[in-house]
Amino acid sequence: MIQHGRVEGQEVRTMNIVELDAQHWKTPSDFYSALLRKLGAPEWHGESIPALIDSMIVGDINEVATPLRVVVTGLDTASKVAFDELTKAFSALTKYGAVANINSDRASLDIADNVSAFLDGRA
């Protein structure tokens, strides 16, 4: 749920939290399916890094909007290919202003409300 407030005349939105459990992920598709389901992505959303950039950075596609934090646990039991896909995807999103933290058992990704400004050089 997004909560709104004001700070010195600016609207402030509370961070949306998406939690994923990766312990049973065997394939890259398991990663995408879990993430897209929790984001409220449309059925036609692609399972690829460019598609994630379009929906998570450009926005206005998923039901869950920025500001957004994705928290992934159970990575220590996920398959290597699923872990590697998450790492590639989160790393790609950092090129557009997202902040990723990844270790052997958990990961997080923070996307600010104004991160799309990176696309047109405003940030």
For 98-118, what is each residue's pLDDT tens digit?
999 999 999 999 999 876 555
Instruction: Give bridge partners of residue 108 from the DSSP assignment.
Output: 71, 101
Angle ∠(93,102,115) on CA atoms, nearest 5: 25
CA atoms within 13 A on the CB side of 44: 2
Q: Is the peptide bond before 67 cis (omega within 30 degrees of 0)?
A: yes
Does 16-120 carry CATH code 3.40.50.460? no
Residue 15: count of CB within 10 angstroms of its CB? 14
What average pLDDT does range 37-52 have in this prediction? Answer: 98
Averaged pLDDT for residues 68-88: 98
Strands across the sheet containing 99-102: 16-21, 68-73, 106-111, 99-102
Q: Is the pTM of this model over 0.75?
A: yes
pLDDT of residue 92: 98
Residue 91 has pLDDT above 80, yes or no: yes
